[in-house]
Amino acid sequence: AQSVTQPDIHITVSEGASLELRCNYSYGATPYLFWYVQSPGQGLQLLLKYFSGDTLVQGIKGFEAEFKRSQSSFNLRKPSVHWSDAAEYFCAVDGGGGADGLTFGKGTHLIIQP
């Protein structure tokens, strides 16, 4: 069965500093990987996705993520965070078969310090 681990429950970053959110997955083949962001009381917004090809993917709002097969990781990065980036971030994996749906990590809560 596929699984996703986000090791950091909370992360605090100063505004303007760089950010890296960690995501590790467990899946037998190459998965389809996603990062979502959720602001308080809101729905899910897709930040970026990896299907195949270039292992560095660019997303919206200045985010990027790198797929590393050898480390089973798909970490999310941003060079300079803004106060508006404060939110909950979810990493998710789709095994391709459909029946398992998306398997989500438990999320990382990002706090931005002024």
Which residues of this chain interact with another protein, rule CB under 8 A?
4, 9, 32, 34, 43-44, 46, 49, 51-52, 90, 92, 94, 96, 98-107
Residue 21 CB, shortest distance to another protein, in Å, is 14
DSSP 3-state of 93: strand
Nearer to another protein, 15 or 104 (CB): 104
Nearer to another protein, 28 or 114 (CB): 28
Are the beta carbons of 23 and 35 closer than 8 angstroms? yes
CA distances to 69, 73, 104 from 13, rounded to whole Å, are: 27, 21, 23
